[in-house]
Amino acid sequence: MKKIEAVIRHHKLEDAKTALSNIGIRGITATEVRGFGRQKGHTETYRGMEYNVDFLPKIKLEVVVADSMAAAAIEALIKATRTGEIGDGKIFVSELAEVVRIRTGETGEGAI
Amino acid sequence: MDNASRREALESARLEYGRSVDEGMSVAEAARRFSDAIDRRVVERIRCSLQDTCGIDFENAAAAIAVFAVGGYGRRELAPYSDIDLLIVSDRRISEAEVKWIKALVRDLWDDGMSLSQSVCTRAELRRRFQTEVETATSALDARLLFDGGSGPESLQAVVAAASKSKRFTERLRAGLSAEQEKFGARVNLLEPDVKRSAGGLRNLQLARWIGAVRHGCGSIEELGKAGILREDRVECLLAARELLMRLRVELHLHARKTSDMLLRCEQLRIAKKWGYTDAAGILGVERFMRMYFQHVSQAREIVERFADQQNQTPWRRTANRLVSGLQLESGIRLMARRLEVNDAWLNLAEQSDEALAHLAKLAAWHGVDLDERLLDRLDRGDNSGGGAATAPSKTLGRVLLQILEQPGWIARTLRTLHRRRGLARILPEFERIRCLMQFNAYHKYTVDEHTLTMLEYAEGLIHEKGLLGESYRRIGRKDLLHLAILLHDVGKGLPGDHSEEGEKIALEVADRLMLDDEERSTVATLVKMHLELSRLAFQRDASDHRLCMRLARDIGSEELLRKLFVLTCVDLMAVGPGNFTSWRAELLASVYLRCRSMFGVNADGSDDDRLERKRLAERLGGGEIAEGFAGALSLKCLRSTDFSKLRNAFQTWTATNGWPAVISACHHPETGTSTYLVLTHEGCTEGAFHKICGALAAHRLEVLSARIRSFDDGLVMDQFEVQDVHHGGEPTVERIEKIGGTIRRVLSGELTVSDVLWSGRSSSFGPKRSFLTAGNSQIAVDNESSDDCTVIDVFTANRRGLLYTVARGIFRLGLSVRFATIATYEESVMDTFYVVEADGLKATRPDRIRMIRDHLSSDLDKLASDPRSMGF
């Protein structure tokens, strides 16, 4: 099993959710976070008024999938959230030792 | 009997309890019987464990120890799976043998299937705890002796009575309750309440009982009624609420087969069905059930609060209140320290006339006091149909309602008081639609009406709030309209269509009925219709896209309305439930608001560094009002990228020649490929300088991206244009600047007309090929709220050559003078803001004049779209 964590632009949440749902992924956890990556803070200028933005608002998604689904999930996430600009975010994938469904006690892929 | 049989017997007693209630026995009676059954088991176990415990001197131990039932068990108000609370008190230090006995007793009762909560202490410790722990004191107030070894322990109530003599005891009781309710929901209309601990729950009823016991020695709510301390009708209300809450608790416990006091959504559906609440036209059975629930608990809560308030008043305060005659506000209306007091004539009038009721509410809200108790009682008892005028158009009612909503401080409290008694429905019947309306989603914590009143409360609280949100609220000119929009923003909920659109329709009906003027009508309706748009843009769209911000700004129409929308959006999020308005959301929303606001040309002064830089420049230019104005009016870009010598020369020539002829300087910004042209002139040179300069720039194929205009009191004018030169890439040459400057001077001096210069140039192959402007796709908004001194005209339209000249000329022809303007071009979209005044220096406020401005400018733009040559292009 894999745990996929994706830090994405906050307004791409709906697109990401739809994309993952479309390939059969149901359980998604989303957290409102602030990020500081290559995009760093930036200075935006609107008609003479400047905004200094340090940490940028992002959404962190957490999805757990079976090994066989990982590639499809990552591809779906990239397709849904990519704009091609700096600040699109990152996807982190890690091995997962165990999953337990609290209600039934099921474990492993059956609990995803 | 073995342990398993005992557990079975207890379980049977629980089921019997539920059956009795289902068959119609009052819960109070069923609870008493169940408590008696528990008593028998506990007493038997006490005796058995004492006798069975080896090595204990029964006579000695029993003589020193007493066992009390406390809490709900003490009151005989047990629910089937309630904890069994025992207090074991010893006269002296507890011996090892006694500890052994208590351990055996606890073990036995657990084995019997009881969930035990026991407290063991000496009488001395107990006295100390009474003084410091409210919880111990209240549980002792409910204490009932189960076992007394014979020492005749002085009555626990006597100990409590001594402790509770403290003046602050009732205050401590209330504080303890409030703290608990903060955890479980301090508002009555929670979508998923805790029947015991949420506001209006069983704890509230217990508070009345405790206060009654401490102050009057009354052991129950019924006794308070009999002693004449609490009115009979109020006692009935409290007893009905207690019956309902206890019955619900029995249901919840038996269904979960454990302690369970949360009335969750799934339980609401189940119980509503079981109790026979069926769906009716426009309302679900579960909604009818919950309305009944909220009605009971909100009444109970208010009765208890009023009772506690009265009991908390010291005798001298009561006497003082009677003696103080208050301030006479009007004939028959007196302002007392905490209430408005009215005579019988007013009471009768308020019962019959909606306007009179609204008038009293207005006075209460203005003076920050509660309404007369007698009036509230009459509202409680009456059918509140009033004079029936609420559905008929009434300008008076409209004005008074807006006055109620005018001054932040006491609005939500006054309206909440009225709403509880259906008095608000007489002033604003549309609000009644959302009474106790459930919201079936995972986010909201309150019913729609509670959510709305909470929003109003939060909005009022912003008056003292620091930061952008507080500042925005304070700057709102017509807060009454914002507050009315808050009241109406969700009235469309529960209707089949989109609730924002349904709400807009209702808001328009309200505006018609209350005979609001056009501007008020459109403000309220727009806010209701768009109340989700700012958060949608912030959280679900890419708000860095200028076009989206511009679209929102265009749809909202004015900076002032945007400010109101920002405040409304923030308090809407806050009132969803505690913790919903996170700093993540607040910051995102603020940044999107600022972006949209900047579309209206509202720029902050910049950072402190920027202000310092401007101040330094003004000092280097010799100081004084004009120098400060000059430094202050320069755009940040111009300020940073222009050599001081250039600025000084421009400034000196300008002031020395009194703006005649026009002084022109330019600086280039390589990073954006744009240039800033600074034109310094004097109003006296020519009329309508701004539109003529625009025409001259357009003639040289300079596309204006943004402009700032500043007129000084003595007639000096400073115009800055950020332009894209479609003819010449890179930094403009001296010759180019001279050529453009020459044209501007000749146009301003009248040597040339704009048409002359426009037609002198050949059509450029570098000019914009596309024209986006088509007739009818422009929007002109005229707003008198955003600025104290000027009328603000916002023009939203599609870009095309000559647009700025056309609008500026249109404004000039209307006889308006431009004080300040910002022009913003984002690819195909344009949003121009002009701060204008009439020839007499005043705002354009007459409705016919506003219509005229709108119509003329719209017609000019339509002409430009369909026949540019008619406009000189």
Residue A50 and residue B587: Cβ atoms within 8 Å? no
B658 pLDDT above the threshold of 70: no
Q: Can you give the pLDDT at residue A35? A: 79
Largest CA distance in chain A: 59
What would you report as the CA-atom Rg of chain B, rounded to the nearest whole angstrom?
37
Q: Whole-angstrom Cα distance, residue B650 to residue B640?
A: 16
For residue B529 the two structure tokens come to: 């219709």
* Residue in A11, A14, A32 closest to B584 by CB: A32
What is the model's pTM? Answer: 0.75
Is residue B222 a contact partner of residue B235, using CB atoms and an 8 Å limit? Answer: yes
Element (H, E) at B641: helix B636-641
Residue B824 and residue A47: Cβ atoms within 8 Å? yes
Please report, rounded to a whole number, the percentage of residues in chain B having pLDDT higher than 70: 87
Mean pLDDT for the stretch of residues B15-37: 94
What are the pLDDT digits (tens) for B525-543?
999 999 999 998 998 888 7
What are the pLDDT digits (tens) for B549-559?
888 888 888 88
What are the pLDDT digits (tens) for B633-642?
776 667 777 7
Nearest CA in chain A to B541: A11
Name the E strands within B761-846.
Answer: 779-783, 791-798, 817-826, 829-837
Q: Can you give the pLDDT at residue A51? A: 42
What are the pLDDT digits (tens) for B310-365?
776 666 666 666 666 678 888 889 888 788 989 999 999 998 889 999 999 999 99
Q: Whole-angstrom Cα distance, residue B436 to residue B425?
A: 13
Is residue B139 a contact partner of residue B125, using CB atoms and an 8 Å limit? Answer: no
Mean pLDDT for the stretch of residues B399-422: 93
B588 touches chain A (CB under 8 A): yes
Q: Can you give the pLDDT at residue B605? A: 46
Residue B701 has phi, psi (to 5 degrees) of 60, 35
Nearest CA in chain B to A56: B588
Nearest CA in chain B to A45: B595
Q: Which residues contact B822 (CB under 8 A, 6 or more apart)?
A: A47, B600, B601, B603, B706, B707, B708, B832, B833
What are the pLDDT digits (tens) for B292-301?
999 899 989 9
Name chain A contacts of B636, Cβ cutoff 8 Å: 48-50
Name chain A contacts of B639, Cβ cutoff 8 Å: none
A42 pLDDT above the threshold of 70: no
Which amino acid is present at B613? E
Distance from CA of A29 to the nearest CA of B (A): 15
* DSSP-based three-state secondary structure for B26: coil
B826 touches chain A (CB under 8 A): no
Name chain A contacts of B634, Cβ cutoff 8 Å: none
Mean pLDDT for the stretch of residues B656-671: 72
* Residue in A10, A13, A48 closest to B635 by CB: A48
* Residue in B544, B585, B598 closest to A47 by CB: B598
Residue B540 and residue A57: Cβ atoms within 8 Å? no
Cis bond leading into B661, ω under 30°?
A: yes
Chain centroid offset of residue B397 CA? 24
Is residue B530 a contact partner of residue B555, using CB atoms and an 8 Å limit? Answer: yes
Q: Can you give the pLDDT at residue B764? A: 39
Name chain A contacts of B595, Cβ cutoff 8 Å: 46, 51
Name chain B contacts of A32, Cβ cutoff 8 Å: 582, 584-585
Residue A32 and residue B585: Cβ atoms within 8 Å? yes
Q: Which of A11, A14, A47 to mutate to test the interface with B (most CBs of B within 10 A)?
A: A47
* Residue in A32, A46, A50 closest to B582 by CB: A32
Chain centroid offset of residue A108 CA? 22
Q: Can you give the pLDDT at residue B547? A: 76
Q: Whole-angstrom Cα distance, residue B792 to residue B844?
A: 9
B706 touches chain A (CB under 8 A): yes
More confident residue, B768 or B332: B332
Q: Which residues contact B798 (CB under 8 A, 6 or more apart)?
A: B772, B773, B774, B777, B778, B828, B829, B830
CB < 8 Å from A in window 620-639 of B? 635-637
Nearest CA in chain B to A54: B587
More confident residue, B272 or B433: B272
Distance from CA of B704 to the nearest CA of A (A): 13
B544 touches chain A (CB under 8 A): yes
What are the pLDDT digits (tens) for B604-634?
445 556 677 788 888 888 888 778 877 877 7
Residue B636 and residue A48: Cβ atoms within 8 Å? yes
Residue B585 and residue A33: Cβ atoms within 8 Å? no
Chains A, B: CB contacts within 8 A come to: 51
Q: Which residues contact B457 (CB under 8 A, 6 or more apart)?
A: B412, B413, B575
B197 pLDDT above the threshold of 70: yes
How far the first Cα of chain B sits from its last, in Å, is 106
Q: Which of A7, A9, A11 to mutate to test the interface with B (most CBs of B within 10 A)?
A: A11
Name chain A contacts of B541, Cβ cutoff 8 Å: 11
Q: Which of B535, B537, B540 to mutate to test the interface with A (most CBs of A within 10 A)?
A: B540
Average pLDDT over chain B, rounded to an integer = 83
Q: Which residues pair with A44 in a beta bridge?
A: A51
Name chain B contacts of A14, Cβ cutoff 8 Å: 540
Distance from CA of A48 to the nearest CA of B (A): 6
Distance from CA of B541 to the nearest CA of A (A): 5
Long-range CB pairs of B124-133, under 8 A, 24+ apart, other chains included: B126/B89, B126/B156, B126/B159, B127/B159, B127/B163, B130/B159, B130/B160, B130/B162, B130/B163, B130/B164, B131/B163, B131/B166
| Chain A residues bordering chain B (beta-carbon distance below 8 Å) | 9-11, 13-14, 32-34, 44, 46-51, 53, 57, 83
* DSSP-based three-state secondary structure for B370: strand
Residue A53 and residue B540: Cβ atoms within 8 Å? no
Nearest CA in chain A to B636: A48
ipTM higher than threshold 0.95: no
A52 pLDDT above the threshold of 50: no
Q: Can you give the pLDDT at residue B399? A: 92
B713 touches chain A (CB under 8 A): no
Residue B591 and residue A49: Cβ atoms within 8 Å? no
Q: What is the DSSP string of B153-183?
A: PPPHHHHHHHHTTSTTHHHHHHHHHHHHHHH
B585 touches chain A (CB under 8 A): yes
B604 touches chain A (CB under 8 A): yes
Distance from CA of B873 to the nearest CA of A (A): 28
Strands lying side by side in the sheet with B791-798:
B663-669, B674-682, B716-725, B702-711, B817-826, B829-837, B791-798, B779-783
DSSP B439: -
Which amino acid is present at B384? N
Residue B588 and residue A57: Cβ atoms within 8 Å? yes
B543 touches chain A (CB under 8 A): yes
Residue B598 and residue A46: Cβ atoms within 8 Å? yes
Nearest CA in chain B to A48: B636
Residue A48 and residue B591: Cβ atoms within 8 Å? no
B204 pLDDT above the threshold of 80: yes
Mean pLDDT for the stretch of residues B173-188: 76
Q: Can you give the pLDDT at residue B524? A: 96
Q: Which residues pair with B446 in a beta bridge?
A: B190
Mean pLDDT for the stretch of residues B783-810: 83
Residue B598 and residue A53: Cβ atoms within 8 Å? no
